[in-house]
Chain A
Amino acid sequence: DVQLVESGGGLVQPGGSLRLSCSASGFTFTNHALHWVRQAPGKGLEYVSTINSNGGSAFYADSVKGRFTISRDNFKNTLFLQMTNLRVDDTALYFCVKEDCARVGCYVDYWGQGVVVTVSA
């Protein structure tokens, strides 16, 4: 079974840093791009970042560009999100998600359980 298990969340002050991890299993890690999606308390889903299968290409939402860095370790089947200069509005549940792709495109077939990040003084 596919499993995506996030860790590394917590409470941090504005301007602080956190590093999220997502340990993956149950699929061929190196075959898939991976993404982070977040959900602020009581709000909807918001795209954060994408990294391609070999880690050579990344994309970011404007709201996190320049502050967050996505990376992956294809030997340890782990996805990361380094978050710096955190702001109160980064407070959210952060999901690690896996995509599945066909000729026409891709969609999210698995979501992790999420990890909570709280930015507060």
Chain B
Amino acid sequence: IVLTQSPDFQSVTPKEKVTITCRASQSIGINLHWYQQKPNQSPKVVIKYTSQSVSGVPSRFSGSGSGTNFTLNIDSLEVEDAATYYCHQSRSLPWTFGQGTKVEIK
């Protein structure tokens, strides 16, 4: 299952809204998760099962979608949100990841 993220790069000012999309090559139900990776750190989950919040992750992160089209939203971006974001499908093995979207602070 191929996951294609859009855009590859986004430069955003603080407090702006960020939207990242992930398209799957076949239906994956809600088995789509989003990870944030900062430089020299391991990824950490920010949204699980398409839209479920994760303990400890700020409420400005939200997700939506189903089937083949998914979206990660970051409302009112903060400086600490600068990172690369990856979508990940666990519907079937082999797991696959999107190519990543780098979010930079202007």
Which A residues are within 8 Å of any B CB, using their own CB? Answer: 35, 37, 44-47, 50, 59-62, 95, 99, 102, 104-109, 111-114
A107 engages B42 (CB within 8 Å) = no
* Chain A: CB-nearest residue to B34: A107
A108 engages B88 (CB within 8 Å) = yes
Most chain B beta carbons < 10 A, residue from A59, A61, A106? A106
From known contacts A107-B48, A111-B44, infer whether A47 and B31 are also in contact, taking CB-CB under 8 Å: no
A95 engages B95 (CB within 8 Å) = no
B67 at interface, CB cutoff 8 A:
no
Query: A97 CA to B86 CA in the complex, in Å?
Result: 15
Q: List 18 A-B contacts (CB under 8 A).
A: A44-B86, A44-B98, A44-B100, A45-B35, A45-B37, A45-B86, A45-B100, A46-B97, A47-B93, A47-B94, A99-B90, A105-B91, A106-B31, A107-B33, A107-B88, A108-B43, A112-B42, A114-B42
B65 at interface, CB cutoff 8 A:
no
* Chain B: CB-nearest residue to A96: B42
A35 engages B95 (CB within 8 Å) = yes
From known contacts A45-B43, A107-B88, A108-B88, infer whether A61 and B49 are also in contact, taking CB-CB under 8 Å: no
B45 at interface, CB cutoff 8 A:
yes
Which residues does chain A contribute within 8 Å of B42, judged by CB atoms?
A: 95, 111-114
Query: A61 CA to B31 CA in the complex, in Å?
Result: 19
B97 engages A44 (CB within 8 Å) = yes
Nearest CB of B to A92, in Å: 13
Which residues does chain A contribute within 8 Å of B35, judged by CB atoms?
A: 45, 108
Query: A3 CA to B48 CA in the complex, in Å?
Result: 20
B29 at interface, CB cutoff 8 A:
yes
Nearest CB of B to A93, in Å: 9
